[in-house]
Structure 1
Amino acid sequence: MSLPLDVCDLSVVAGPRTLLRVPSLAVPAGSLIGVRGPSGAGKSTFLQALSGLLAANGSVRWGTTDLARLSSERRTAFRAAHMGLIFQDFLLFDELSPRANASLAALFSKRGARAQIDARAADRLDRLGVPQDSRTVASYSGGERQRVAISRALATDPAILLADEPTASLDRPAADRLIEDLVALARDSGKTLIAVSHDLHLLDRLDRVLTIEDGQLTDDSPVGAS
């Protein structure tokens, strides 16, 4: 099951500077949303505010939960229960196998949920075509490593996927294969996906694209709109 997002009067402030301001935004459950804009415009800050990694003013409501009103500990608990995060730099443990990396959440879960997380991690690795042999991920290509990272994000069956430049470290063929798989997985399971990206190949496969410039949401357009 996915979750809708409703943002109202969102701002992120650092000292005298306002890093981000979004007056309002509504994202229906199961939507696939892209976020674009120049480097340093506030795209990653926006994603971190939506995930609760940054404290924010205003309202960031996922379903009935307003992350902006939660303590840091409760935001962490919400992420663990409802979000899968995909980063540009993979953040894998090189000495571990793909399955061990993809099922890391099982180490921090209740005993009864561990087998299910491990099985789901193996299933996502299979679906994404990641070899599951005795090698560690240190020897894997960039495309394979990002697929392991996506499998890890999906292993807990989260309602929400947040991705920060998921194809930036990949060559064009690997990026295109990853886009196909990521979009298919999100649509097939009805997850809400929000992806920050400069990659037009990815943005063109989504439902809507937001533009952030100088910390402001300046455009919100359906894909394919003239």
Structure 2
Amino acid sequence: MSLPLTISGLSVSSKRGRLLLSVPDLDMPAGSLVGIEGASGAGKSTLLYALAGLQEAKGSIRWGDQDLFALNAGERARFRANRIGMIFQDFLLFEELDAGENAALTALFRPRRERAILRAKAAERLDFLGLGGETRDRNVVSLSGGERQRVAIARAMAAEAPVLLADEPTASLDRAAADRLIEDLVNLTRSSGTTLIAVSHDQTLISRMDRVLTIRDGAIVADRKAVR
């Protein structure tokens, strides 16, 4: 399951009124793997956070039939919890919990009847990413950077959200760990049909996407197929 994306008239401005991002129109089919590249400060993360409903903006961001900005803040939070998984470059794991508990964290915020299913899905994702068995019970402090990022991916995808947004997911990893993570992330999203949008400076990750958007000074200046 995945969702298509339609953007129209999107703009984000600073509190002082400076235009930070302008996307007149953009369409992505469901199940797309899209990379976003550009210099630091170009507006990549601003776009990503707008797509998650975490950035105040004007215009329309429509995931399937739902326009994010037709929702109030509480409704957007519920939509995000059910429909959008997020991966951050600094993992954002709870160090007092083990890998399995971190991956299943979403279950704590769901109705009791859904919790066992979510924990089982989290365990399945960890197994797929090579973190099953005894590793699942290890405290995340004892895991390598690549392993911690895999836990973060499992957490983001445990609820089988149709959309996955990733902000520099390989930035904290060495090359070997980054390459392994990219392979796992691409295989997992393709096998599940998830729509993946990844902001990255990592050209190895960018090259594995179906489509690449280049952002400069808050505008999309190129839209191309990835070169493998």
Q: What's the TM-score once normalised by structure 2's chain length?
A: 0.96
Compared CA separation, residues 101 and 173, structure 1 to 2 (3 A):
same
Q: How many residues align?
A: 225
Aligned to 1:27: 28
Equivalent of residue 139 in structure 1, options 124, 130, 142: 142
Equivalent of residue 201 in structure 1, options 194, 199, 204: 204
Aligned to 1:184: 187
Report the CA distance between 1:111 and its aligned residue: 1.1
Q: 1:48-197, aligned counterparts within 5 Å?
A: 48-130=49-131, 131-197=134-200
Letter in 2 for 1:184: N
Report the CA distance between 1:69 and its aligned residue: 2.1
Compared CA separation, residues 117 and 213, structure 1 to 2 (3 A):
same
- Mapped to 1, the partners of 2:56 and 2:26 lie a distance apart of 18
Computed over aligned residues only, the root mean square deviation of the Cα atoms, in angstroms, reads: 1.1
Report the CA distance between 1:134 and its aligned residue: 3.9
- Mapped to 1, the partners of 2:136 and 2:125 lie a distance apart of 15
Report the CA distance between 1:135 and its aligned residue: 2.6
Report the CA distance between 1:133 and its aligned residue: 5.0
Letter in 1 for 2:81: A
Letter in 2 for 1:158: A
Compared CA separation, residues 13 and 182, structure 1 to 2 (3 A):
same
Structure 1: 5+ residue runs without aligned partners? none
SS of 2:138's partner is coil
Q: Spell out, residue by residue over 1:161-181, the C-alpha distance to the aligned partner (whole angstroms, 9 max, x if none).
A: 000000010000100000001
Letter in 1 for 2:94: F
- Mapped to 2, the partners of 1:223 and 1:72 lie a distance apart of 35
Report the CA distance between 1:70 and its aligned residue: 1.5
Structure 2: 5+ residue runs without aligned partners? none
User: 4+ residue stretches of structure 1 with deviation over 4 A?
Assistant: none
Contact 2:100 2:136 survives alignment (8 Å): no
